[in-house]
Amino acid sequence: MNFNNKTLLSSFTLPNGVELKNSIVMAPMTNFSSNPDGSVTDAEVNYYARRSKGVSMVITACTYVTPNGKGFHGEFGADNDDMIPSLKRLAQAIKEQGAKAILQIFHGGRMCPPELVPNGEIVSASDIPAVRGGVSTEEPDVKPRPLAESEVEEIIHAFGETTRRAIEAGYDGVEIHGANGYLIQQFFSPHSNRREDQYGGSVEKRMTFPLAIVNQVKKVVKEHATSPFIIGYRFSPEEPETPGITMGDTLKLVDTLADQGLDYLHVSLTDFFSTPRRGVEDLNITRIEYLLDTIDNRVPLIGVGSIYSAEDARKAFETGVPLLALGRELIIDPDWVQKVSEGKEEDIVTEIDKNKQEELVIPDPLWNAIINTPGWFPGVS
């Protein structure tokens, strides 16, 4: 083993005692490849299995907890018990390769395409349309309907029920998806949340919904899990909108989350070394550094964002971040971890090879999205 890669390849123990075989995680990425009824396809199962051998933990693409939370075409579901066999197939495929299987649970809120949700009715914290992504970006007249308090409680309960299904399906944990502009973030954001009840107002009140979901998930795990079960939480540090989430808001949220008994926090970044837009004194200090300082070793942080080479990973670990997620890179080269562990890091592929879809075991819908989205993946222009 190259000494420089020691951190990367060493085992890591989460707060609940679960040991990860190394510090590299597969990031959650939508793959658009499930059946219309929300069940997983053979192509999807094979795609995950191909990438589950080297990493210590695989976080799945997001799965919806209620029918009105489906955010993507080809997204797999976990909103009722009939989905447990489908969920189980995916968990087994990941675990058979030696990785922990983490189910990412989510509600799309105002980002859901109307054609995917009952009666075409999209819901959110308030009736504010999205300005980036989501149907309301193209059709400003399409406003989300504000959720009634009773509906908010039902969704909180649904996150718990999906956690129970994850336990029954054999997953090792769940990741609460509070990032990327979806419903949990919509409640935390002053852009999308203009409520005047217990779920809106100050930054502390806007934490009510995210924290209620965390507590519900913890409660269900305590009731139903017979062995240590991982609970993570993903968040986005900032929004460009005004009003919108600032880095300062996120540090308050993270400070609170760090005391909730979670097993990890997972920041969503396009660039690991990016710096804040606003809300903190020094805009030259990276977001990761601010987060690590705020967390102060209370809970592990997973960093992510444009890590392609082993050298990129080593630089990331030098910040003190204990865990690193690879997303696009594991699509480009599923054997990334194995190559590092075998001292063959010079063989790591860092640009997508347009002639190797079959060899890379990438389902057609995801492949088409990669090839037809210039700039998303290195090698696609």
Residue 142's pLDDT band, with cuts at 50, 70 and 90, is confident
CATH topology of domain 3-371: TIM Barrel (3.20.20)
Is the confidence at residue 140, as pLDDT, over 90? Answer: no
CA–CA distance from 149 to each of 7, 64, 112, 153, 212 (Å)? 46, 20, 20, 6, 13
Give the pLDDT score at 1.
53
Does 182 participate in catalysis according to the annotation?
Answer: yes
Is the confidence at residue 141, as pLDDT, over 80? Answer: no
Q: What is the pLDDT of residues 82-126, one digit of tens each?
A: 999 999 999 999 999 999 999 999 999 999 999 999 999 999 999
Q: What is the pLDDT of residues 180-228, one digit of tens each?
A: 999 999 999 999 999 999 999 999 999 999 999 999 999 999 999 999 9
Residue 37's pLDDT band, with cuts at 50, 70 and 90, is very high
74 vs 305: CA distance, rounded Å: 24
Give the pLDDT score at 131.
87
Q: What is the pLDDT of residues 313-360, one digit of tens each?
A: 999 999 999 999 999 999 999 999 999 999 999 999 999 999 999 999
Residue 8's pLDDT band, with cuts at 50, 70 and 90, is confident
Once rounded to an integer, what is the mean pLDDT over residues 73-87?
98
| Catalytic-role residue among 48, 64, 171, 182 | 182
3-state secondary structure at position 118: helix
194 vs 197: CA distance, rounded Å: 9
Is residue 142 within 8 A of residue 127, CB to CB? The reply is no
Instruction: Kindly state the tokens that stand for 120.
Output: 């075409």
Is the confidence at residue 7, as pLDDT, over 90? Answer: no
To the nearest whole number, what is the mean pLDDT of the chain? 96
